[in-house]
Structure 1
């Protein structure tokens, strides 16, 4: 079956009678909000605005720039343009009618630095295009309402700003941190709760239905087994970071209401307090709030109330001085070495020049991320370590019969 035939079957199936959602299923508990008229302050967001030509062109450009692997249909980013010329009219028609069915998501497991596995969900490039188009229109509506203490996946904000703000809190005397780790956040998201928050700003039932379908899209693993998602959302789609911020903004607002000093980057949240006792009470209270309000759980093994210099935040650690200085966390150096080791091991036939060209962008990105810290000593040690690895590579090549002079 060709790719075109496969997509045609999806569209045909959708138009023949897709699953029916009640308003309660679409929007969670807040049905009235979803179907009520929008307020004066809100920007209208509909399928029509999402599929405007200018928005779709921008979405296409970003999907192509981000590259990425093919989804379950094996359609590559490079093949997207001619494919859209043949199929976009029928896809847009299905979107307008509220009948479009996303394709299944390809599961991909990647190792985590702590030894675990992170499961990514790779949508097809066509679905990445649609998700990107939704995100581009939804973000300007919701982002201005987000907390100033939220830094992840937001325009004009980054991890460095979060770390610097954390440093400010420590300088103000808040020398205890509540380091909160959410238990499998992306796997535990409650669809009804999330949809109820989205429905506060989105009134187009077709768009709400489409977002819900993306949340519920089947996943396909390497054994071709299909699993329908009843909770959680896939990591890997352009829409997921924005949806996670919409849900966790509820946590931000609760912390603001209580007057706490905190920094959140995606699902990584640190709250700065003045004493261990205050931190322990807060961790208990927020754990109960997350469970009761958002259906989320704190990972007790990874969460802690501690001194900031005993923990790391977004790859950084701090010194134990009156004037807190930022430094590179030891685990960040170890993670970089693991990456460099993987690039210099098992490539005995590659020239040193080729290996160096692979190492250069990794090192450049790492140095750029930590450029504002006291990193000179770390870089000197890394330089020595990397040179030893390259000398070992040269030695192995020299020992091989085929590479001797």
Structure 2
């Protein structure tokens, strides 16, 4: 078995992208709305369950007419008429912090399927550039993996651990800057337009 060379991982997406070497991904939207991709996206949303959005449609309700919903979503994405619904806002108590709440935005099941279909196509493009020390919101990485990484760092002589909870992190992300970074790799304006909406 041949050994795969290991290269140092870049710290930032902009470090990874060499304009002379990296080719942009074109014509991605047609892969997003492929029926098989929408079906895989729906199965992931169904497996995650969760409550419905502002339209009141639950996962079970969506499942009863999944084929029709997927047909409609595919047609809307193809015709560029898809518009996400407003996000349902809820507040949940913060664990271990009595009297404090975390605000959550809950998209409709329909919009979650669209978001998952986008993720299915974007994740393989961007996952290789993410830092190995980042475990949050990444498929195949868990809290237990993060703990193993921490223990490995401690065993190697590291003495400091920082535990931080950034207030309103997702609400404070500069979406224009984020989309400009994504645009360095994705040339399909139809995908970028969908991302700006969701």
Under TM normalisation by the shorter chain, which class is it? 0.7 to 0.9
User: In the alignment, which residue of structure 2 is the partner of 1:188?
Assistant: 172
CA RMSD, aligned part only? 2.6
Kindly state the Cα deviation for residue 92 of structure 1 after the two structures are TM-superposed: 2.4
Distance in 1, matches of 2:29 and 2:46, equals 22
User: Aligned partners of 1:66 and 1:50: how far apart in 2?
Assistant: 20
Q: Which residue of 2 aligns with 1:338?
A: none
TM-score by length of 2: 0.79
Alpha-carbon distance between aligned partners in 1 of 2:64 and 2:162, rounded to the nearest angstrom: 51
CA contact (8 A) 2:35 2:74 kept: no
1:44: how far off?
A: 4.6
1:173 pairs with 2:157: yes
Residue 43 of structure 1 and its aligned partner are, at CA, apart by 5.2
Among 46, 50, 67, which residue is 1:64 paired with?
Answer: 46
Q: TM-score, normalised by structure 1?
A: 0.41
Gaps of 5+ in 2: 1-13
Unaligned runs of 5+ in 1: 1-29, 215-405
* Alpha-carbon distance change, 208 to 167 in structure 1, aligned in 2, over 3 angstroms: same
Q: Which has the higher strand share?
A: 1
Quote the residue 1:151 is aligned against: 135
Structure (1 or 2) with the greater helix fraction: 1
Contact 1:105 1:122 in 2 (8 A): yes
Partner Cα separation in structure 2 for residue 170 and residue 106 of structure 1: 42
* 2:122 match: secondary structure: helix
Cα pair 2:73 2:114 within 8 Å, conserved = no
Q: Which has the larger radius of gyration?
A: 1
1:4-403 matches, within 5 Å, as: 39-40=22-23, 44=26, 46-113=28-95, 114-115=97-98, 116-214=100-198
User: How far did 1:141 drift?
Assistant: 0.8
- The whole-number CA distance in structure 1 between the counterparts of 2:160 and 2:44 is 41
Aligned residue pair count: 180
Kindly provide the CA deviation profile for residues 287-328 of structure 1, in whole angstroms up to 9, marking residues without a partner as x: xxxxxxxxxxxxxxxxxxxxxxxxxxxxxxxxxxxxxxxxxx
Moved over 4 A (4+): 42-45
